[in-house]
Structure 1
């Protein structure tokens, strides 16, 4: 049996990373789309050379790694460049995610992605779990965690799918408005249910 794939998402500060960590502690194979996105632009990977070729050497740090803030500046000034960047990176990120998911040996695997809905990645999973939290709590948690300003956090929240949009795609919703012990208990409850579901025989 091939493992079936659960998409796990939630807005910034919702607690999706804590939920994913607890699923992993229960033995579930977890793949993080953000990690895959970082991995495809590491030194020595073809994407990084293409970026330097296209945007110029100023997108590289002295050590040869990607200078994310320099890249952001390029994209910010020229929105058309964002499309070029996405056309380059999205297929590579997709391949990386597929490669990682193929290694799963647990009955189901999890793809964690903050942009599961916006990027269309939800079409590649069998079920979607949204870790949800009231927006005010999302804001307070993120400001406290990242020492970010309220404006910065609101700007990130604007880019991410609206809460209603995310919830529309959800098969399951984990309301994370209590403490970590509650979150872990909910993850364990969902895990027991998920173990009863079957993937594609193959």
Structure 2
């Protein structure tokens, strides 16, 4: 099963995306629908809302008067928080029941309007954000839903900002244009990413990659992507992590690299590493074959566990190392030394481009050819660490 979080601001057209995903075969769990169910007349949820906000939030026939409640909560952060404290736990429990009822080969899309606002993004291996410009969202809310411009703007401004949603988004779908455009984008997303992702997770196989090293120009979002992945891992691994870091070339600003996010988890021992690796399917990573190791700069082999991406849209290497291995410290030292030395970044970039352009049989061969430079640079980094007092 692949669980996907779907979100977007009011008026962005998230329901259009959800409907198209359902047409392609996804099981859609709609938090808005559930939120209505849990406050239907006669439910404990509605009784709790009336106790908190008074009988003025009821219609004459005893149903919830949503416009009346909306005027209260969208103008007052504290009152909105009080409503959320009642409704969100009820919605969460019902969501869990519906997800559990989906089949083992399902792509379950959980449509959650306030996914970002409620800090739920780390609970999904993939988050889709549906976006539209504020101007377009205002037009839709006024023309299609009959809101006043003031009410519509208040609803928009009460939610997360575009920047906050971008930080949570693995997939950003712009729905500012024509319906045919967003439907085509969803179709491509399903075929190229979601369906293969689910299959890879179910069969515990890593997504295929190019057998050769392809070095690309630095992506300023690599750091955000690394932190997003680490947030998911930390939620699963918890206090078994001694530390967790984004390292490798994509963690160094301005450095060309293979488009692979490398993260490093340091744990007590190999048994813990194996245990953690076995649970990372929850964040979209699958354990690679059993035997992996580092060769440290003294030529000594050090065992580690490696997990890789089941998601064909984001290559990841997750290195899980016991705390007794010196390799994890060397990786952080090299990262921080490069961050502090732009001249070394330029030197390394030239080497990487040159080696990637040369014929090589595999990514491993490309990596081996970099080893002499890395070991020499670690010697320079040791001197820098002593000079500036660097430590992990």
Alignment map for 1:81-120 (pairs within 5 Å): 81-105=79-103, 107-120=106-119
1:89 CA drift (Å): 2.0
Larger radius of gyration: 2
| 1:181 alignment partner in structure 2 | 180
Q: Is residue 6–residue 111 contact of structure 2 (8 Å, CA) maintained in 1?
A: yes
Highest RCO, 1 vs 2 (Cα 8 Å, sep ≥ 6): 1
3-state DSSP class of the match of 1:102?
Answer: helix
Q: What stretches of structure 2 of length at least 5 have no aligned partner?
A: 202-280, 283-392
Tell me, yes or no, if the aligned pair for 2:41 and 2:62 is still in contact at 8 Å.
Answer: yes
Query: Normalising to structure 1: TM-score of the pair?
Result: 0.85
Q: Report what 1:162 is aligned to.
A: 161
| Alpha-carbon distance, 1:56 to partner | 4.2
Distance 1:78 1:17 in 2: 26
Distance of aligned partners of 1:197 and 1:44 in 2 relative to their CA distance in 1, 3 Å threshold: same
| Residue of structure 1 in register with 2:195 after alignment | 195
Question: Could you state the TM-score of these two structures normalised by the residue count of structure 2?
Answer: 0.46
Query: 10, 16, 21: which is aligned to 1:23?
Result: 21
SS at the partner of 1:195?
helix
Residues 20, 186 of structure 2: 8 Å contact kept: yes
Residue of structure 2 in register with 1:49 after alignment: 47
Distance 1:43 1:111, change over 3 A: same
Aligned mates of 2:85, 2:146 — CA distance in 1: 33
Residues in 2 aligned to 1:134 and 1:156: alpha-carbon distance in whole angstroms: 14
Higher share in strand: 2
The SS at the match of 1:9 is strand
Deviations 1:103-156 (A, max 9, x none): 223531101122110012223222111112222222223322123232222111
Matches within 5 A, 1:2-17: 3-17=1-15
Out of 61, 65, 68, the residue aligned to residue 67 of structure 1 is: 65
